[in-house]
Amino acid sequence: METNKVTIHDIAKSLNIDSSTVSRALNDSPRVTQKTKDKILAKAQSMGYQRNMLASNLRKNVTNSIGVVIPRISRHFFSSVIQGIEETAYDAGYSVVICQSLEELKRERNIIQTLVANRVAGVLISISMETTNYEHFQILNSQGIPYVFFDRHCEIPANNNVIINDFKGGYDATQHLVSKGCKNILHFSGPGHLEIYKNRLKGYKKALSDNNILFKTENIISSKLMEQDGKVITKKLMDDKVNFDGIFCANDQVAIGAIKYLNEIGVKIPEQVAIVGFSNEPVSNVITPSLTTIDQPGFEMGIKATELLIKNIKDQSGTLPPETITMETNLIERNSSQK
Amino acid sequence: METNKVTIHDIAKSLNIDSSTVSRALNDSPRVTQKTKDKILAKAQSMGYQRNMLASNLRKNVTNSIGVVIPRISRHFFSSVIQGIEETAYDAGYSVVICQSLEELKRERNIIQTLVANRVAGVLISISMETTNYEHFQILNSQGIPYVFFDRHCEIPANNNVIINDFKGGYDATQHLVSKGCKNILHFSGPGHLEIYKNRLKGYKKALSDNNILFKTENIISSKLMEQDGKVITKKLMDDKVNFDGIFCANDQVAIGAIKYLNEIGVKIPEQVAIVGFSNEPVSNVITPSLTTIDQPGFEMGIKATELLIKNIKDQSGTLPPETITMETNLIERNSSQK
DNA sequence: CTGTTAGCGCGTTCAA
DNA sequence: TTGAACGCGCTAACAG
């Protein structure tokens, strides 16, 4: 047990040089001759040396981990973002620690604390639905830990953000429904304090006004956008015999709930009712007539966010200006002929 | 910048005691009076002390992280397992590092190396489809790092495993199809070297023989079980006009591929054809007549595996006998009346 | 370019 | 029960 006890001192001793030179060589410092570097690397290899990351971390007071804070890993959108994060981070030599807030502010605070205590190199954050104040992120500033918001960002402009063009997404979704002949379009919206849902709503309003359709407040139905919400909302709509010919859903969960409920009660979704969600895979498996989705590029978003974060981590001066990257959605119209 | 520089020395100094006593108190050692303990804890609180995990890790030569090695995070089954892992680990004070092998042996080896170098407290593993030898896991033994296989385990019995009763799952699936009247049931199986697929196949064979149905080798179609495989296989079957009245799919991906292809070419899946997969959510969203699934308890599996791992981490003696926990699947018959 | 020296902050010996 | 002292393995500062 416990083999691998080779330290830089061992390899220094066997080469009659100093351990600090070995350290420099292993870190590819320019302050070592290529010749001695080669010698040291060869020796290290042959002795089966492996750097003790714990000691290295302590000395540098930082780890090679990137913390990721998301509401839920099981949401398809987030797991595809993580796919992008993982690949980018892995290639750059970082490992990824994933933490779920489960949409609770309390947990989110806790997670940030833990990540700071573990001296992560940087943090990627998509805030929870409960998050209305952002004080807990200040600790990252005070500790000099760079961070990037993605998707669910906060309205503070002085941050690094990688976000979706939610306004255009909402606009496209609504415009699509209008062009399909819908006159009375409902919007299942999210919590009013989250930027992304505010912007999707703005897009919805703009598309209506551009088409000379009157905006009605009662057509906006806000919820936490869980699948269950979709069911409950749709049930109430049907029970109340509310008149509508289109729904623009602000996310996939609520859309799935709505479709499932309609299926359950045996209501055939007519061609002219279209449901537009904001994430790909899960909705695409729910077969309805004329289903169209506004897909978010989750994977690419993960890559962009990680690249931006790493750029900030690598930056020595700490004076990089805050940056906001906006990504576009894709409207995907599905074949309505499938049964 | 860089506030929080409170160390055990600072709090020792302000109390006129030694830092070692503070260390003991903070670790709740029995070798400190309750009175001084209280005093120290109060002071630590008021000074805003936070343990430096990096230093602690170095000294103990182990972190409080659990490594998880899985093929793909975006597979629904794995993300539900992770949900269980996360919750259990979090409650026990561990953080979770997720690593994806992407079904590549090379990456899997690499990951194990990295986890060892980072001195994780333990590892949870579901092996890749390429993994046919298990030497790279020996390094965990030699370093004294406990590990547990879940779902995709290897045939080595002297390990900790949390597995599905795949034999019974395969049996139940096949029996279900037979009882629905199927006489000629195909089986979409996985790589022959993986235990789980071998066992599902055994269950299939047993159910056939119990029903006096002749087993035919040509009814077994093996692949890597990706969605694309399901499409390709089904296309070939249809093109070749192969005669069958039921399919037992060894996972959800391949089932989705099959169903999607049939949808694409406009073939209505007749009532007597049932497709049985091995994971829940994604398939449940694919609406077909008489779809039945054999659900795996992913979340519970994550909990069990993590509990077993933590038990092994906590064990000082290192002589805990290997343990194998078997979990049962649930056959879920879906309402075939939905269109 | 290389060697010397000095910790990072904690946990654990050994003494008292 | 507490204190003193040491070192985990590495890197950074300062010499030369």
Q: Kindly determine whether residue A143 and residue B256, on different chains, have CB atoms separated by under 8 Å.
A: no
pLDDT at B104: 93
As to burial, measured by CB atoms within 10 angstroms (0-12 exposed, 13-18 middle, 19+ buried), residue A184 is middle
Find chain A residues with C-beta within 8 A of B114's C-beta.
95
- pLDDT per position as a tens digit, B277-290: 776 555 555 555 55
Strand nucleotide closest to residue B31 (CA to C1'): D1
B222 has a pLDDT exceeding 90: yes
- pLDDT per position as a tens digit, A120-171: 999 999 999 998 888 999 999 988 899 999 998 877 778 899 999 999 999 9
Domain positions in chain B: 8-51, 62-164+298-329, 166-295
Per-residue pLDDT of chain A (339 residues; tens, 9 = 90+): 344 689 999 999 999 999 999 999 999 999 899 999 999 999 999 999 999 999 999 999 999 999 999 998 888 889 899 999 999 998 998 999 999 999 999 999 999 999 998 999 999 999 999 988 889 999 999 888 999 999 988 777 788 999 999 999 999 999 999 998 899 999 999 999 899 999 999 999 999 999 999 999 999 999 999 989 999 999 999 999 998 888 999 988 898 888 888 878 877 766 666 777 776 555 555 555 557 888 889 999 999 999 999 999 998 676 789 999 999 998 887 654 433
Q: Kindly determine whether residue B339 and residue A338, on different chains, have CB atoms separated by under 8 Å.
A: no
Find chain A residues with C-beta within 8 A of B109's C-beta.
none
Q: Is A79 on the interface with B (CB under 8 A)?
A: yes
Confidence class for position B339, pLDDT limits 50, 70, 90: very low
DSSP H or E segment with residue A201: helix A195-210
Q: N- to C-terminal Cα distance for chain B?
A: 61
Mean pLDDT rounded to a whole number for chain A: 88
DSSP A164-189: E-HHHHHHHHHHHHHHTT-SSEEEEE
User: Could you name the CATH architecture of B166-295?
Assistant: 3-Layer(aba) Sandwich (3.40)
B1 has a pLDDT exceeding 50: no
The owner of tokens 């049985």 is B276
Q: Kindly determine whether residue A268 and residue B339, on different chains, have CB atoms separated by under 8 Å.
A: yes
Q: Which of B184, B198, B185 minimizes the C-alpha distance to B153? A: B198
Chain B: residue nearest A58 by CA?
B54
- Evaluate whether B281 touches B75 at the Cβ level (below 8 Å): no
Chain A: residue nearest B50 by CA?
A117
Q: Kindly determine whether residue B144 and residue A53, on different chains, have CB atoms separated by under 8 Å.
A: no
A212 Cα to chain B: minimum distance (Å): 37
Domain B8-51, CATH homologous superfamily name and number? lambda repressor-like DNA-binding domains (1.10.260.40)
B2 has a pLDDT exceeding 50: no
DSSP H or E segment with residue B293: strand B292-295
Q: Is B57 on the interface with A (CB under 8 A)?
A: yes
Find chain B residues with C-beta within 8 A of A339's C-beta.
263, 268, 339
Inter-chain CB pairs, A–B, below 8 Å:
128
Q: How far is the CA of A150 from the C1' of C14 (A)?
A: 53
Strand nucleotide closest to residue B21 (CA to C1'): D2
pLDDT at A315: 85
Is the CB of A31 less than 7 A from some atom of nucleic acid strand C?
A: yes
As to burial, measured by CB atoms within 10 angstroms (0-12 exposed, 13-18 middle, 19+ buried), residue B99 is buried
- pLDDT per position as a tens digit, B5-56: 899 999 999 999 999 999 999 999 998 999 999 999 999 999 999 999 999 9
Q: B1, B3, B53, B104: which to substitute to probe chain A, counting the most A Cβ within 10 Å?
A: B53
- Evaluate whether A300 touches A88 at the Cβ level (below 8 Å): no
Torsion of CA A11, A16, A22, A23, to 10 degrees: 90
Q: Is A334 on the interface with B (CB under 8 A)?
A: no
Chain B: residue nearest A52 by CA?
B117
DSSP A269-289: --TT--EEES-SHHHHTB--T
pLDDT at A273: 67
Same fold for the pair B8-51 and B62-164+298-329: no
- Evaluate whether A170 touches A203 at the Cβ level (below 8 Å): yes
Q: Can you tell me whether residue B28 is helix, strand or coil?
A: coil
Half-sphere exposure of B173 toward its Cβ, with a 13 Å CA cutoff? 38
B228 has a pLDDT exceeding 50: yes
The span from the CA of B31 to the CA of B28, in Å, is 8
pLDDT at A310: 96
Structure tokens at B67: 């490594």
The span from the CA of A201 to the CA of A206, in Å, is 9
A161 Cα to chain B: minimum distance (Å): 22
Q: A5, A54, A85, A101: which to substitute to probe chain B, counting the most B Cβ within 10 Å?
A: A54
- pLDDT per position as a tens digit, B117-141: 899 999 999 999 998 888 999 999 9
B296 Cα to chain A: minimum distance (Å): 15
Q: What is the DSSP letter of A144?
A: T
Q: Is the dihedral of CA B138, B140, B144, B149 positive or negative?
A: negative
Pick the CATH number of B62-164+298-329 from 3.30.70.890, 3.40.50.2300, 3.40.710.10, 3.40.630.30: 3.40.50.2300
The span from the CA of A123 to the CA of A68, in Å, is 6
Candidate from A241-245, B63-67, B122-126, B264-268 with smallest mean pLDDT: B264-268
Chain A: residue nearest B5 by CA?
A143
